[in-house]
A = this chain, B = another copy of it.
Amino acid sequence: MSQPYLDLRAKTKARDRRLRDKVMSLEAAAALVGDGDHVALGGCTASRTPFAMIWALVRAKRKGLTISRSIVSTEGDVLFASGVSAHIMTSWFSQGIVWGISKVMRHYTESKRARFEEWSHMSMGLRYRAGAMGLPFLPARSMMGSDVAARLGDEVRKMTCPYTGEQLVLLPALNPDVALIHVPRCDAYGNAQIDGLQFMDADIAMAANKVILTTERIISNDQIRRAPDHTKIPFFTVDAVVEVPYGSAPHECYGLYEPFFGHMDDYAEQTARDPEAGAKDYLERFYYAPESWADYLGLIGMDAVLDAARRGRSITND
């Protein structure tokens, strides 16, 4: 009998869960992520990707991270190419369907320099949810019969339901060491409100042993307390709050900006020509060269920022 539950409880108990100011810099937050950690990313595909934190982790030369996310887009390329991670657990991994298959993902996985561990989309969600619920697994009716489950071996067990005799798969809990989640707004304590698409973020925050929030803006605790039913992530799960406007660029943040399509087209073209050199050059120009997140945005370009914001804000125009 293993004791992951008692370990989880002990880790949780040791966290400082008071209502306290957690605002810090990107760099200070990056220091909360250790080499070898399992890091879960909030958002999905090109939405609310915690790019500012990923940018900071690449710059800090973090190593050996296991990454998990519902669906992985260009941030997966960046994590592989930078050497920050050689192991990504997700259900789908490429820039996005309009750009075809990620050549960077192909390059690193086909050469076996990195691993893309494939789970079904709902399985990823139920694994985080099991972790959020303090359970060792959740049962499900998906994944059976397929090679996706078979390839995962003992990680996916089966059981016969004692009530109905049905076959069920069991999906083991994920309790990430750290979760990186980008939100439109939160207070200094980490109470976060998330508009629109929620993805798996609430479960990820609840499951993780440490949560770093990046936020488009910090609002007062008073604003949170005026609409407590809009809080999606409670402060006691959160360990760091970093205010980073456009912190998901070049991906989107609901209601604020859409993806920076031009930048993503350029990226796809550059990495399609030569996945390794293309990605390295991209990292050099956009990750290592700029002195700050504002410099990074400046390189993407003011026109691109304004265009993405105009499109993002238009969601309520009609």
CB pair B164–A5 under 8 Å, yes or no, is yes
Asked whether any CB of chain B lies closer than 8 Å to the CB of A147, the reply is no
Q: Which chain B residues lie closer than 8 Å to A289 at the CB level?
A: none
Q: Which chain B residues lie closer than 8 Å to A60 at the CB level?
A: none
Asked whether any CB of chain B lies closer than 8 Å to the CB of A212, the reply is no
Asked whether any CB of chain B lies closer than 8 Å to the CB of A31, the reply is no
Give the contacting residue for A136; candidates B163, B170, B196; CB below 8 A: B163
Asked whether any CB of chain B lies closer than 8 Å to the CB of A229, the reply is yes
Asked whether any CB of chain B lies closer than 8 Å to the CB of A226, the reply is yes
CB pair B198–A166 under 8 Å, yes or no, is no
Counted per complex, copies of this chain come to: 2
Known contacts A136-B161, A229-B196; is-contact A166 B316 (Cβ 8 Å): no
Q: Which chain B residues lie closer than 8 Å to A172 at the CB level?
A: 163
Q: Which chain B residues lie closer than 8 Å to A135 at the CB level?
A: 139-141, 168
Instruction: Give A23-74 interface residues, CB cut-off 8 Å to B.
Output: none
Residue of B nearest to A255 (CB): B229
CB pair A137–B136 under 8 Å, yes or no, is no
Q: Which chain B residues lie closer than 8 Å to A2 at the CB level?
A: 163-165
Give the contacting residue for A162; candidates B138, B166, B170, B197; CB below 8 A: B170
Asked whether any CB of chain B lies closer than 8 Å to the CB of A306, the reply is no
Asked whether any CB of chain B lies closer than 8 Å to the CB of A159, the reply is yes
Which size class do A's interface residues fall under? Answer: 20 to 34
Residue interface bits A129-163, CB-to-B below 8 A is 1, else 0: 00000111111110000000000000001010111
Instruction: Give A84-140 interface residues, CB cut-off 8 Å to B.
Output: 134-140
Q: Which chain B residues lie closer than 8 Å to A229 at the CB level?
A: 195-198
How far is it, in angstroms, between the C-alpha of A141 and the C-alpha of B168 when the chains are bound? Answer: 20
Q: How far is the CB of A155 from chain B (nearest CB, A)?
A: 9
How far is it, in angstroms, between the C-alpha of A166 and the C-alpha of B228 when the chains are bound? Answer: 36
Instruction: Give A205-263 interface residues, CB cut-off 8 Å to B.
Output: 226, 228-229
CB pair A164–B196 under 8 Å, yes or no, is no
Q: Which chain B residues lie closer than 8 Å to A140 at the CB level?
A: 135
Asked whether any CB of chain B lies closer than 8 Å to the CB of A1, the reply is yes
How far is it, in angstroms, between the C-alpha of A139 and the C-alpha of B173 when the chains are bound? Answer: 12
Q: How far is the CB of A236 from chain B (nearest CB, A)?
A: 19
Q: Which chain B residues lie closer than 8 Å to A170 at the CB level?
A: 162-163
CB pair B141–A134 under 8 Å, yes or no, is yes
Residue of B nearest to A3 (CB): B164
CB pair B136–A166 under 8 Å, yes or no, is yes
How far is it, in angstroms, between the C-alpha of A161 and the C-alpha of B135 when the chains are bound? Answer: 10
Instruction: Give A259-318 interface residues, CB cut-off 8 Å to B.
Output: 316
CB pair B5–A166 under 8 Å, yes or no, is yes
Instruction: Give A1-32 interface residues, CB cut-off 8 Å to B.
Output: 1-5
Instruction: Give A159-213 interface residues, CB cut-off 8 Å to B.
Output: 159, 161-166, 168, 170, 172, 195-198
Q: Mind listing 12 A-B residue pairs with CB under 8 Å?
A: A1-B164, A1-B165, A5-B166, A134-B141, A135-B140, A135-B141, A136-B161, A136-B164, A136-B168, A137-B163, A138-B138, A198-B229
A-B pairs, top 3 by smallest CB distance, nearest first, are: A1-B165, A136-B161, A157-B162
